[in-house]
Structure 1
Amino acid sequence: MKELKIIGLSLLVFGTANAQDAEQAKKAIDAEQYQKAKTILKSLIASDSNEGKNYFLLGDVYLKQTEQDSAAMYFNNGLKAKNDAEYNTIGLGHIDLDNGNASAAAAKFKSVEDELRRKDVEQLIYIGRAYIDSDNPDYKKAIAVLNKAIEKDSKAAAAYLALGDAYIGDRNHNEAYRAYRNATSYDPSLLRADLQLGVITKNTRAAFPEAVEAFNKILAKDPNYGPAYRELAETYYLWGNTDTKKYNEYIKKALEYYEKYMTLTDYSLDSRMRHADFLVLAGDYKALEAEAKKMQQINSVNPRILRYLAYSAYENGNYAESIKAMNEFMAKVDPKRVIARDHLYLGLAEMASVISEDAQGNTIITDQAVFDKAITDIKAAAEKDIEITNQFNAIGKKLFGQKLYGPASVVFEVATTNPDNRNLFYDNFYLAYSIYYDHLNKSEEAQKENAVQLGKADVALDYVIKASPDAQDAYLYKARVNQRIQSDEAYQRMADAYNEYIRVVTEKGAAEVAKQKANLIEAYSNAGSYYAVTDTAKAIEYYNKVLELDPNDEYAKQELKRLKP
């Protein structure tokens, strides 16, 4: 009996230790220390193959790292466990969701729900999490499942935490805030809930100081809670992009906080990739190149590393290496893993690789086919994610500066398709500007076939004028564009635009009139030529205005002599 008691006691102690280790694994997952979590869980499985939840937790870590095959292997092995095998059915359902098979996922989740006991809540939370974390999320189903969990246990902090995440995905920030507050009130040690409250504050964009304060309060509770440092880094990054005067200061802080976050992870490939993603945002491409090379030493076959090499090679001026790395990346990964930025960088590297200068210093394209493909790839970036057009302004202006007006107009035209583009005003102006100068560079025959493009320029300038009725250059170029269209309606629009240009300039006073003398002479002369056919008195008035600006203008003198009786 004494021996049996000792054995029983040892089993109890082992069971307690096993539970504690599982909780340690969960804490490591929450702290985004995935390698540490995997090490703990593999050890637990090796010591006790009958606990199905350990297989599930390990498979779930692999899903977080987008390693679906490894995740599926552990989920399937977990189905054979004596205890808690149903968690692995949830994991396999998560994979079904990722693969677009929602009906198969729903069937698996239902089979788990049907077998739940009255107090079983955790399984419902993980079903909700599957709907939230899937590549094909369904936030409303997640909300419904998590509310079932809360009906069973109204103080289940983890359920409220997951519910908050579901509401964030469903763009209901008020309910998300309420859910996170419930989570932290029922379990004050649940730092992730406090973190998410800070994230909501951070994403208001007007409350960066409050977000910083919220994350620092978390670190006051636990100075080693890595995700809080990551959120501080992202907060300062966003703040720097909003407060441009302090951009350098805040970006430096952001990078320092991210380095601190990295020291609190396990420097696994996954955490290094997170770091690389942030370096892309912060624009530290020297550090990105160094990080990418470290990742290659850890795992030389992971294709995602090629993405970082492509980005950093382009930014560091090695265009051929960038093209090679990106093409290799796209060939290796599932097409759904290719993002807009990948197409953009490929296009930019291709473009840069074939732009050169001739002996006279003029910009030339050395390979038109590669350049055309570059434009196609840049367009593909916008098709993949329209928000990336916020970055097109700098690309288009660079092309414009190189006097590549046609390609610049293509870039600006794509940019203007995004109604929420923060550069929309300037992109419309540069679209018109580029089309106009591209037109001037065309042959006389090609100009005759260019009315459609000129019409796009006219529409773009209308947008600029509507947004800024006193934008004098917009009126000037609208007049010039319509003069080149050469139709009766266009000539009338030309005269109207010149009139508005004259109004804006003269209202600014003598100094601006003197500054714009050449353009005013153009405006009075060209509008005068229109009025010479439609309104003789107006034409005479305008030619006299030309002579006030330049008494020696021969064209105005000749037209006045012709028009006066």
Structure 2
Amino acid sequence: MKLTKEIVGTTLGLVFIGSSVFAQSLDDAKKAIDAEQYQKAKSMLKNLTTTQPTKDENFFYLGWVYLQQDYPDSAKAAFNKGIAANAKSAINYAGLGAVAHYNKDAAGAQSNFNQAATLAGKSPEPYVYIAKGYLLDPNPNADAAITVLNKEIGVNAKDPNLFIALGDAYRAQMKSSEAYKAYSTALDLNPKSPSPKVSTGVLWRFANNWEDSEKEFQAAIAIDPNFGPAYREWAETDIRWANKDPKMASAKIQEAVDHYKKFLSLTDMSVESQVRYADFLYSAGRFKELQDVANSLTKYPGVNLKVYRYLGYSAYENGDYATSNTALNTWFSKADPKRVIPYDYYYQGRNTLKAGKDTAAAIQELQKAVQADTTGALSGVYGDIAGVYYAQRKYEQAGDAYQQYATKSNKATLNDYFKEGFSYYFAYGAQLSSKATPKPTPDTTLLVKADSAFAHIQSKLGTTPNSTVTQYRARLYDLKEKDRNNIVGYAKPFYEKFVTEVSGKSSLTDADKKGLAEAYAYLGNYAEYKDKDTAKATEYFTKARDNDPTNAQVQYYFTKKGKPAAGKGK
């Protein structure tokens, strides 16, 4: 369980404990938590809750460890025991509020946070954890965290943890100047803490300032060489650097793995730490290693169920679709529905597509993914949905999906726009030629949508010709004609442009010749029915016949004129 993406993990003064023997004190347990040595901290706190059952803080920190490890039910039970030990335990009410916020229970979160603030007195600690609770995924509320923190800072401006949490909240809002000021204040209040340096390094990472980011991590390690979370944040910075700079990708990904392994060596190698390593491998795109790690973790009783998610994701990426499908089915059947995220539906839908048996179910799963995604990260899924409909010749649905793909993602190519236009064009044609009873009224908005897609392509191409797009624009404008005997000529400029574009080629394909015959036949009809120019009409139809004597309109014209349709071609 993490604070909102890339926000923290390094928010307290972190101190590595190198000894294998730990004094069983709350301070030592808190230091283990700060160092992200969760298994050690949990063992110590379980002992403390037994030997000091009346001390409510023992239960809070045990609950907070559970919450960090994605066990909200266990966390809630611990917080309630803390309140049972002390009915006025502000910090345990803050814990209950955090669990409620994590579970998307806004009313429960607000009630418990209010109670924590009422009972806090002069202690700043409950306010720190109220803010941390507001920043928890999956629905961080940075505004609320900032309000709480600024109010407490107004009466207690000497606690560095308040300022670190404030910096994290501002960082969640991408307010870099405010976050930097808060971290600097925290460092001024406690110059021996490496945490503000690491937090500032993450801030530079947000700005893609890799070099300054690394300098901050190095400065943190200079303060404390065993400051594990500095290596973790450095590893995550390496990954982002690799994703943004292809030239550095290979070196930075390997460096990231090395830094993360260093982080693990400074914490513990518990199952929970291995789950965190799986988190990292997923963000690094190391799917082969991730599948191995996730598969081994499934062997542990009571392991965090998200390892099945990672096994499903990685197996899919590795082409092991059967394993992926089994793992995801396990995840969906056992996980709390509140833990399901859009990517779960995405991979499930992709697996269903690979199976090739139930495309309707696959589309339903992919649609769940994009509907649940509020970030836009999965907007590319509309392209997958469009591709399925397009292959099935469900053209109106395909057109809609391609339009959403183009609108909501930045990945659509001109070919995708062409498929959008093509789909809408053929959807209209299907309505026009439908044999259904009653016959549907063709939806002319489909032609408008098709033309918009084709026009977009031509606007991007500028003066570069694309005769195929020009031809389809001509065809769809021709469909707008209501009466051949009262031809308006909507398609005329497009067919003329098509003739110019194709005639300029050094050599013509059979498709080019058929296209020219189509264009000249249209121009011939326009000359005959609109201009009443028989000679011009014959000239155009002759050119059409020279390119394709089998063209139906050519044959009709010359048969009507009592002349043979055969021509020399060219």
Measured against the shorter chain, the TM-score band is 0.7 to 0.9
Counterpart pick for 1:257 among 251, 256, 259 = 259
Question: Within the alignment, does 1:374 sit opposite 2:377 as a pair?
Answer: no
Contact between 2:316 and 2:351, CA under 8 Å: does it hold in 1?
yes
Whole-Å separation in 1 of the counterparts to 2:57 and 2:130: 14
Q: Which moved more, 1:280-289 or 1:96-105?
A: 96-105
1:79 aligns with: 83
1:92 aligns with: 96
Alpha-carbon offset, residue 394 of structure 1: 7.9
Q: Secondary structure at the match of 1:305?
A: helix
Contact between 2:89 and 2:119, CA under 8 Å: does it hold in 1?
no
Whole-Å separation in 1 of the counterparts to 2:138 and 2:472: 50
2:130 aligns with: 127
Q: Cα deviations across residues 93-147 of structure 1 (Å, max 9, x unaligned)?
A: 2223334443444343333433444x42222222222222264433222212111
Contact between 1:286 and 1:316, CA under 8 Å: does it hold in 2?
yes
Contact between 1:502 and 1:520, CA under 8 Å: does it hold in 2?
no
Instruction: Report the residue type matching 1:32 in the other structure.
Output: E
Whole-Å separation in 2 of the counterparts to 1:426 and 1:220: 51
Question: Within the alignment, does 1:51 sit opposite 2:39 as a pair?
Answer: no
1:476 aligns with: 468
2:522 aligns with: 530
1:435 aligns with: 423
Contact between 2:370 and 2:379, CA under 8 Å: does it hold in 1?
no
Q: In 2 relative to 1, CA 405–87 (structure 1 residues): closer, same or farther, beyond 3 Å?
A: same
Counterpart pick for 1:62 among 57, 63, 66 = 66
Instruction: Report the residue type matching 1:274 in the other structure.
Output: R
Instruction: Report the residue type matching 1:266 in the other structure.
Output: D
Contact between 2:291 and 2:315, CA under 8 Å: does it hold in 1?
yes
1:114 aligns with: 118
Whole-Å separation in 2 of the counterparts to 1:540 and 1:271: 85
Q: In 2 relative to 1, CA 170–37 (structure 1 residues): closer, same or farther, beyond 3 Å?
A: same
1:83-232 correspondence to structure 2 within 5 Å: 85-117=89-121, 119-133=122-136, 135-205=138-208, 207-232=209-234
Instruction: Report the residue type matching 1:28 in the other structure.
Output: A
1:315-354 correspondence to structure 2 within 5 Å: 315-354=317-356
Q: Cα deviations across residues 423-466 of structure 1 (Å, max 9, x unaligned)?
A: 13447425337738987999996699897766644333333334
Whole-Å separation in 1 of the counterparts to 2:136 and 2:267: 21
Alpha-carbon offset, residue 44 of structure 1: 2.8
Instruction: Report the residue type matching 1:479 in the other structure.
Output: Q
Alpha-carbon offset, residue 373 of structure 1: 0.8
Contact between 1:100 and 1:136, CA under 8 Å: does it hold in 2?
yes
Instruction: Report the residue type matching 1:72 in the other structure.
Output: K
Whole-Å separation in 2 of the counterparts to 1:492 and 1:141: 62
1:281 aligns with: 283
Root mean square deviation of aligned Cα = 4.3
Q: In 2 relative to 1, CA 94–345 (structure 1 residues): closer, same or farther, beyond 3 Å?
A: same
Structure 2 gap segments, 5+ residues each: 1-20, 483-487, 562-570
Alpha-carbon offset, residue 351 of structure 1: 1.1
Q: Which moved more, 1:157-166 or 1:253-262?
A: 253-262
Alpha-carbon offset, residue 83 of structure 1: 10
Q: Cα deviations across residues 505-544 of structure 1 (Å, max 9, x unaligned)?
A: 89xxx7xx33776665455443333332335799999999
Alpha-carbon offset, residue 230 of structure 1: 2.6
Q: In 2 relative to 1, CA 140–427 (structure 1 residues): closer, same or farther, beyond 3 Å?
A: farther
Q: In 2 relative to 1, CA 300–60 (structure 1 residues): closer, same or farther, beyond 3 Å?
A: closer
Counterpart pick for 1:465 among 440, 452, 458 = 458
Aligned residues: 523
Contact between 1:25 and 1:40, CA under 8 Å: does it hold in 2?
yes
| Larger relative contact order, structure 1 or 2 (CA cutoff 8 Å, min sep 6) | 2
Q: Cα deviations across residues 254-305 of structure 1 (Å, max 9, x unaligned)?
A: 3333333333332334333333233333332221211112211223564322
Q: In 2 relative to 1, CA 329–20 (structure 1 residues): closer, same or farther, beyond 3 Å?
A: closer
Contact between 1:93 and 1:106, CA under 8 Å: does it hold in 2?
yes
Q: In 2 relative to 1, CA 18–553 (structure 1 residues): closer, same or farther, beyond 3 Å?
A: closer
Q: Which moved more, 1:213-222 or 1:152-161?
A: 213-222
Q: Cα deviations across residues 320-356 of structure 1 (Å, max 9, x unaligned)?
A: 33223222311222223211111111111111112xx
Q: Cα deviations across residues 136-187 of structure 1 (Å, max 9, x unaligned)?
A: 4332222121112211222321111111122233443332222122222222
Contact between 2:164 and 2:196, CA under 8 Å: does it hold in 1?
yes
Q: Secondary structure at the match of 2:135?
A: helix
Instruction: Report the residue type matching 1:464 in the other structure.
Output: I
Alpha-carbon offset, residue 212 of structure 1: 3.1
1:270-419 correspondence to structure 2 within 5 Å: 270-299=272-301, 302-354=304-356, 367=357, 370-385=358-373, 387-392=376-381, 395=384, 404=391, 406=393, 413-414=400-401, 416-417=403-404, 419=407
Instruction: Report the residue type matching 2:480 in the other structure.
Output: D
1:361 aligns with: none
Structure 1 gap segments, 5+ residues each: 1-16, 355-366
Q: Percent identity between the aligned chains?
A: 29
Q: In 2 relative to 1, CA 121–524 (structure 1 residues): closer, same or farther, beyond 3 Å?
A: same
Instruction: Report the residue type matching 1:155 in the other structure.
Output: K
Instruction: Report the residue type matching 1:111 in the other structure.
Output: Q
Whole-Å separation in 1 of the counterparts to 2:254 and 2:402: 30
Q: Which moved more, 1:301-310 or 1:477-486?
A: 477-486
Q: Cα deviations across residues 221-256 of structure 1 (Å, max 9, x unaligned)?
A: 334333333333332322333223443343333333
Q: In 2 relative to 1, CA 544–217 (structure 1 residues): closer, same or farther, beyond 3 Å?
A: farther
1:35 aligns with: 39
Contact between 2:421 and 2:454, CA under 8 Å: does it hold in 1?
no
Q: In 2 relative to 1, CA 487–156 (structure 1 residues): closer, same or farther, beyond 3 Å?
A: same
2:15 aligns with: none
Scaled by the length of structure 2, the TM-score of the pair is 0.77
Q: In 2 relative to 1, CA 216–392 (structure 1 residues): closer, same or farther, beyond 3 Å?
A: farther
Q: Secondary structure at the match of 2:70?
A: coil
Q: Secondary structure at the match of 2:462?
A: coil
Instruction: Report the residue type matching 2:274 in the other structure.
Output: R
Alpha-carbon offset, residue 46 of structure 1: 3.0
Q: In 2 relative to 1, CA 437–353 (structure 1 residues): closer, same or farther, beyond 3 Å?
A: farther
Instruction: Report the residue type matching 2:72 in the other structure.
Output: Q
Q: Cα deviations across residues 470-493 of structure 1 (Å, max 9, x unaligned)?
A: 4644x6235326626861359966
Contact between 2:341 and 2:372, CA under 8 Å: does it hold in 1?
yes
Instruction: Report the residue type matching 1:192 in the other structure.
Output: S
Contact between 2:524 and 2:541, CA under 8 Å: does it hold in 1?
no
Whole-Å separation in 1 of the counterparts to 2:538 and 2:252: 57
Contact between 2:70 and 2:304, CA under 8 Å: does it hold in 1?
no
Whole-Å separation in 1 of the counterparts to 2:537 and 2:24: 90
Q: Which moved more, 1:497-506 or 1:41-50?
A: 497-506
Contact between 2:428 and 2:447, CA under 8 Å: does it hold in 1?
no
Higher-helix-fraction structure: 1
Whole-Å separation in 1 of the counterparts to 2:189 and 2:331: 46
Q: Which moved more, 1:189-198 or 1:405-414?
A: 405-414
